[in-house]
């Protein structure tokens, strides 16, 4: 295994009662890059993503993270190893403020999530780190705002902040721009770029303009198989990719 690759799959396959959703996928994600997984509807993106993040168990094949076989590992186990799916562990509590939400996430890291009797002094000791995280994702001005009052885009930014509290080496994002307007998309794309500075990011995303702007490498799936891989400039000129998208009418 090359040390350049943080995650690799070999012959990754998932079958559901005779239907093969993912078939013999070989994937390599390089460290400190943004790698996008795209494809038309029914391509197997979500299934592949759920296999990588251990929400599904492969029917065949192998998954390695940092050279270690995680094929049979549980989501919590790989999170402890440094690979975290955004929204997998993070949770936004609408009645808590932005700062309190991130502080809860930091308590998880310390293993004190359920120590509700801790003193205010102990909890406040987490404020500096929490404020650093909310500053990093651009929601510092909403520090004392209940999360339930945030716009959709800022709520997603807060969710990323709670994920970053786990200090992941690799962050997996499942359609981070879904349901967002133009301004929120721009803000979230800038956030993803910032947090990728010292992390690896793998994302499933339908918005091809976002994929083009952010991704170092793109893997295109069709009918559960890898159709093409490369930079956006390369895959956008691939006749098979163009045909796949024109045929589906949806990215």
Give the pair of three-digit tokens for residue 213.
Answer: 């702007």
Question: How far apart (Å, rounded) are the C-alpha atoms in residues 179 and 143?
Answer: 24
Cα–Cα nearest to 172, from 64, 29, 24, 39: 29
Least confidently predicted of 126-135, 180-189, 239-248: 239-248
- Please give the pLDDT value at position 246: 66
Half-sphere exposure at residue 197, Cβ-oriented, CA atoms within 13 angstroms = 6
**What's the burial of 134, exposed, middle or buried (CB within 10 Å: 0-12/13-18/19+)?**
buried
DSSP state of 120: H
Please report the domains of the chain, with CATH numbers, ordered by start residue: 1-88+169-251 (3.40.50.300), 90-165 (no CATH)
Position 127 pLDDT exceeds 60: yes
Residues of the chain above pLDDT 90, percent = 58
Residues 11-25 pLDDT 10s: 999 999 889 999 999
| 250 has a pLDDT exceeding 60 | no
pLDDT for the residue numbered 166:
86
Amino acid 123: pLDDT:
60
d(CA 196, CA 194): 5
How far, in Å, CA of 135 to CA of 138, rounded? 5
Report the alpha-carbon distance of residue 149 to residue 211 in Å, rounded.
Answer: 29
């Amino acid at each position: 295994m090359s040390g350049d690759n943080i995650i690799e799959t070999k012959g990754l396959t998932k079958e559901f009662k005779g239907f093969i959703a993912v078939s013999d996928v070989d994937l390599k994600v390089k460290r400190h890059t943004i790698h996008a997984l795209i494809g038309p509807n029914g391509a197997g993106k979500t299934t592949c993503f759920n296999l990588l993040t251990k929400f599904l168990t492969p029917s065949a094949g192998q998954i390695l993270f940092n050279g270690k076989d995680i094929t049979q590992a549980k989501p919590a186990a790989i999170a402890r190893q440094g690979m975290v799916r955004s929204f997998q562990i993070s949770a936004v509590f609408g009645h808590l403020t932005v700062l309190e939400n991130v502080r809860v996430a930091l308590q998880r890291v310390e293993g004190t999530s359920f120590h509700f009797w801790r003193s205010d002094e102990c909890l406040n000791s987490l404020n500096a780190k929490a404020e650093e995280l909310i500053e990093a994702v651009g929601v510092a001005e909403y520090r004392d705002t209940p999360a339930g009052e945030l716009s959709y885009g800022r709520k997603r930014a807060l969710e990323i902040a709670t994920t970053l509290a786990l200090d992941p080496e690799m962050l997996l994002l499942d359609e981070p721009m879904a349901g967002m307007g133009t301004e929120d998309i721009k803000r979230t794309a800038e956030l993803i770029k910032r947090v990728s500075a010292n992390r690896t990011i793998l994302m499933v995303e339908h918005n091809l303009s976002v994929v083009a702007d952010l991704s170092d490498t793109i893997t295109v799936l069709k009918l559960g198989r890898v159709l093409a891989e490369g930079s956006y400039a390369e895959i956008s000129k691939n006749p098979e990719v163009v045909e796949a998208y024109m045929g589906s009418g949806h990215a």
